[in-house]
Structure 1
Amino acid sequence: MRAVLQRVTSARVEVAGEVVGQCGQGLMILVCAMQGDSEANAEKLASRIAKLRIFDDGAGKMNLSVRDIGGSALVVSQFTLAADTSRGNRPGFSAAVAPDEGRRLYEHFAQALATEGVPVETGRFAADMQVSLTNDGPITISIEA
């Protein structure tokens, strides 16, 4: 699985003007299930993200995890993270799993992150979403498992 994390002070996702998920201080996580991914990949990614030390400690050093600060996460499906831009000007997305499998692994990832002790809200799978966030730092990290 592939994810892009943004350390945020707040984030929210709307569908048709309705807020469907939001978080305060914590992580905005865009996630994509790739060909060959399984539940084990989703669980490994969730565990790595929950423990990733990208929040400042009292000395201003990135030494704390989202769990350490009592933060939360907004998880949004993002199949375009599978984009292949190596040929031409139009990206290909064949490295992403089919939508039904993508939904299953996305939901499994969100549940696995919650099991790691991180409060989780989500976007709406396959919906046209508007995402708003305040990136803190800015800190943006890509990660795969």
Structure 2
Amino acid sequence: MDFSSQGENITIVERLIDELCEKHNIPEEHYGNILIALTEAANNAIYHGNRNDPDKKVILQYEASPKKFYFRIEDEGPGFDFENVPDPTSPENLEKPNGRGVFLMRHLSDEMTFLENGRVVEIVFSNLTKPVEVSA
């Protein structure tokens, strides 16, 4: 699926997650992780990648099964240096209003990979039938 780079189109991603989680009986504790990570990825594609240009598209591909969800989100922007994203938990970054999206995506998913100079992110959620383990 694809959609124009407008903030209100995040609802498309939210509806997709709702439908997939309901169809595959995904436990509530996984639903939140999937929803947050995917909406962050879509927001990044819209606002940072495509610079909120409604003439540019965000492309979302997915494969879903009861045990594993795979998502690929692609924008039409120039990419970014995903190797050097500042750590939002560092003291100098705690007060900054932005910079948490990649951190959240990485920590809420089981696998995350950037491709094509950061224009594409692949996110995988595995073992969706098992409870989420929370570490302190």
TM-score normalised according to structure 2 size? 0.26
Higher helix share: 2
The structure whose RCO (Cα within 8 Å, separation 6+) is larger is: 1
Higher strand share: 1
TM-score normalised according to structure 1 size? 0.25
